[in-house]
Each structure stands twice: as C-alpha cells, then as structure tokens.
A and B are shown apart, each in its own frame.
Chain A
Amino acid sequence: MNKNRFVASLCVVATALALLSVVAPLAAQGRGRGGAPPAVIPPEGPAKGPIPRLPNGKPDFSGTFDHPRVGDVTKPANGCVGGTAGCVNVTDTPEISFTPAGAAEQKKEPKFDYGLYCLPWGYVRSYQTPYPHGYMQNNDQLMVLWEQDNFFHAVPTDGKPLPPNTDLEPTWMGTSAGRWEGDTLVIETGGFNAKTWIDTAEHVFSDQLRTVERMSYIDKDHIRYELTMTDPKFWTKPIKNTRIFSRMSTPLLEYSCEENNKEIREGFYLENNPLKK
C-alpha cells in the first residue's frame, strides 16, 4: 500500500469510528429506505433507476447495509439481521465436496472457537454475522465496515491484479484487489491464514482459498452480492452463494467483543477449550 492510499485508508477508518461514537444514542429500529425489495435475486444487469455514483462515474456503495444471517453456506437464508426487508441468501452448493485432505481436516474435533476469543471472524464469515455491515468508498478504494467486532477491510479498486497466495502475507481477512466490469465491482481476495471458518457451521478451508465477489446494484437500495469460493486443496468444487443486501437508514453501532467476555475471564468455558488440553 502506497503512502497516499494508506493515508486515505486512515481517513476512512477514522471517519467510520467517529460515526460509531455518536450513533448509539440515535439507534432505533433499522428500516430500509423505501422501495419494495426484489422477490427473487435477479441476474446481474443494469440497475433499476438511478443509483449513487462516485465522482469517476462508478457505482458508490457507501452506506449501511443489512444482510442475511448465513450460519451455513450450504443452506439458503431469508430475512435481514438488522430488521430491514429483502435480504436473501441462495446457495448453489447444498453440499461441500471435500478432497481427502479437506475431509480429514473437517473431521478434526474439537475445533478452536476463535470467535470466543474475539479474534477476527475472517473475511467470508464477517459478511454472515448477526449484525449489519457498511461501506465507505471513493474513486480508489472500498472500505468494508462490519459491525461484528467493528472490524474493517480495505479493497483497492484500481484494477491491479491480485498476486498468487504464495506471494501474499497470510492474514485473517486476506488481501483484496478490486476491478470494475461495467457497473459491477469484482473483488478477488486471497492470502488467508486459514485460522477461521467460512461459516458458523465450522466449515474449514485451507491457505489456498480464493474468493471472488461480484457486487452490483439491483436498485439504489439493494445490492446483488455474488460470492464464489475456490480451494483446490480442501474442496473439489467451488462454493457459491448469491445474496441481496438491503440499505439501512440507521448507522452501524459499537461492538466491543473484549469488554465483558465472561466465558474467558471467569473460565467456565475453559473446560471445553482445546487449548487447555
């Protein structure tokens, strides 16, 4: 990341944190900003009506968005976690086809519940949490803000290709590269440390995971979000979900996972903690 991009990232994050600090007293029921949600997920295509756009003319996804709670990427989901309408998850993968190495890893028990320790939820799973997410965007990057644990992730949108995983530092949220295909933002992400799961159902993945997300507006208040995950080390076939995110009229809220983590502090979870064995 060059200096300008780094400074821009800091500004975006600082603004986001400032917003988080003032919104709690204003919080109320999350409501969509009007307009009936689509009954089904439409194919990728031109948005219905005008949509927000950046100075460079590309779609601007900035705002707070509700999403479906996806506890298991092999199952469909309906409903929005924040109370708006129209969130959906459709899966093209009702069953994960594991390689022998993947099947062996999946069978290992007990798995380390990293979320309990307030470690990052991972890039894929962060989009599936019980709380909404948001975007802040300019011509150069998209900043993803998750209410869950108040994590963020920067996505450069300059069109530079993503290096192979072997050339990326392993991180919880991975490294992303974004490019535009018309009004669709295509985000490729890799370089995961593989210490997380792709969902709450504890589906595992390896350091070879790559994700491709395709984001486009259905209309000004609904985003079509298509996620394809490949992991040749652990899966024989890609996993694909398609979702609808619904715009909220209320901002993201504070969430401090560490504040009162009694399970850890008082130890009544530790009887089942694999780290203790």
Chain B
Amino acid sequence: MKTKIALLIAGLWMAAAPALAHHSFAAVFDGSKKVSLTGTVTKLEWANPHIWVYFDVKEANGAVTTWQCEGGPPNSLVRQGWNKNSLKTGDVISVEGSRAKDGSNTCSFSSVKAADGKRLFAGQAQQQ
C-alpha cells in the first residue's frame, strides 16, 4: 500500500482540531502536514483522553511502517454510537489526518474509513 504525505496550506487543521479536547492541537500536531494513509489495524486503544489506532502501512518498496493516530475520547464517541468493537485488529483502514510536530509516525486523524468506504468515528459532537 502506498503512503502519501501531502504538505498542504495551513487552515485545514480546524477540521481535526475540534476532535481534541484535552490539549491544544497546535501544541502537538502540525496542521500543514497532512497525511493520507492506508494500512492494517494492529491495535485499538479505547481509552481517554483520546482513542489511539495503531496500524501498519506497506510502502511501495515492500517496507512496513507502523503508525499511531489519535482520535476523540471514548465518552464522546460512545455518545455518537461508536464503541470499542467498531474497529478490530486486521481491519484495513484509510486514515487522513495531521502529522505530529516531532516528525514521528504519529497523527491526529480527521477521517477513518473502512475498506468498504464506511466512515468510522464520524459525526463527533465537537465538530461544531
């Protein structure tokens, strides 16, 4: 699978920022460094203050890189109808988000889609 890291103009970060509740988005992530990734889920941490999704991304040259991306908190996601079983190990997902400022394979996701195109963890109450 292919990794695309696109550098876009700042301003779009607001789409992801509202998902963050316990820290300043700009303190951790760079809204101008957008990432678009497809990979296989290895672990889901369903815990406050953010859920974390771990997944392996296969590069064009066959190398596998591991990514970790954070989303909203369980209390908000549960209120929207999601739960700890919404994403399982082995699921293939497509993730869009903003990369961490430290350059590690860490992101804050604004979108997670399953292989069938179904959007996961969407419709968070904070997005208003």
Is the beta-carbon distance between A118 and B76 smaller than 8 angstroms?
no
Interface residues of B in 43-60 (CB under 8 A from A): 45, 47-50, 52
CB distance from A199 to the nearest CB of B (A): 12
Which among A5-13, A158-166, A206-214, A257-265 touches the partner chain?
A: A257-265
A79: chain B residues at CB < 8 Å are: 128
In Å, the complex CA distance between A259 and B52 comes to 12
Known contacts A113-B27, A147-B75; is-contact A272 B101 (Cβ 8 Å): yes
Residue from B101, B104, B128 whose CB has the most chain A CB atoms within 10 Å: B128
Is the beta-carbon distance between A257 and B48 smaller than 8 angstroms?
yes
- Say yes or no: is B118 at the interface (Cβ < 8 Å to chain A): no
Instruction: Map CB proximity to B onto A113-133 as digits: 1 under 8 Å, 0 otherwise.
Output: 101101000000000011100
Please give the residue numbers on chain B whose beta carbons come within 8 Å of chain A beta carbons, in ascending order: 18, 21-24, 27-28, 45, 47-50, 52, 68, 70, 73-76, 78-81, 100-102, 104, 106, 125-126, 128
- Contact among B24, B52, B79, B106 with A250 in the assembled complex (CB-CB below 8 Å): B79
Is the beta-carbon distance between B23 and A269 smaller than 8 angstroms?
yes
CB distance from A261 to the nearest CB of B (A): 6
Chain A contact residues (Cβ within 8 angstroms of B): what range? Answer: 35 or more
- Contact among B49, B80, B100, B102 with A255 in the assembled complex (CB-CB below 8 Å): B49
Instruction: Map CB proximity to B onto A244-262 as digits: 1 under 8 Å, 0 otherwise.
Output: 0000001001111101111
CB distance from A189 to the nearest CB of B (A): 23
- Say yes or no: is A238 at the interface (Cβ < 8 Å to chain B): no
Closest-by-CB residue of A relative to B24 is A113
Q: Give me the 3 closest cross-chain CB pairs, A-B, nearest first.
A: A116-B23, A79-B128, A260-B47
Instruction: Map CB proximity to B onto A65-106 as digits: 1 under 8 Å, 0 otherwise.
Output: 000010100000111111100000000000000000000000
Could you tell me the dominant secondary structure of chain A's interface residues?
loop
A-B contact pairs, 9 of them (CB 8 A): A24-B78, A69-B18, A81-B128, A116-B23, A149-B22, A256-B47, A260-B50, A262-B50, A268-B102
Known contacts A24-B78, A250-B79, A259-B49; is-contact A69 B102 (Cβ 8 Å): no
In Å, the complex CA distance between A268 and B99 comes to 11
Is the beta-carbon distance between A29 and B80 smaller than 8 angstroms?
yes
- Contact among B28, B47, B101, B128 with A259 in the assembled complex (CB-CB below 8 Å): B47
Is the beta-carbon distance between A260 and B24 smaller than 8 angstroms?
no
Is the beta-carbon distance between A115 and B22 smaller than 8 angstroms?
yes
- Contact among A24, A30, A263 with B28 in the assembled complex (CB-CB below 8 Å): A263
In Å, the complex CA distance between A257 and B104 comes to 23
In Å, the complex CA distance between A154 and B49 comes to 25
CB distance from B40 to the nearest CB of A (A): 21
Is the beta-carbon distance between A256 and B100 smaller than 8 angstroms?
no
In Å, the complex CA distance between A272 and B28 comes to 8
Is the beta-carbon distance between B49 and A30 smaller than 8 angstroms?
no
Is the beta-carbon distance between A131 and B106 smaller than 8 angstroms?
no
Is the beta-carbon distance between A255 and B75 smaller than 8 angstroms?
yes
A39: chain B residues at CB < 8 Å are: none
CB distance from A145 to the nearest CB of B (A): 13
- Contact among A30, A202, A269 with B79 in the assembled complex (CB-CB below 8 Å): A30
Closest-by-CB residue of A relative to B78 is A27
- Say yes or no: is A28 at the interface (Cβ < 8 Å to chain B): yes
Additional 19 contacts, C-beta under 8 A, given A28-B79, A149-B22: A30-B125, A81-B128, A83-B80, A115-B22, A116-B24, A118-B49, A200-B24, A253-B78, A254-B75, A256-B49, A257-B49, A259-B49, A260-B45, A260-B50, A260-B52, A262-B50, A262-B68, A268-B106, A271-B102
Is the beta-carbon distance between B21 and A148 smaller than 8 angstroms?
yes
In Å, the complex CA distance between A113 and B49 comes to 15
Is the beta-carbon distance between B28 and A268 smaller than 8 angstroms?
yes
Instruction: Map CB proximity to B onto A13-37 as digits: 1 under 8 Å, 0 otherwise.
Output: 0000000000010011110000000
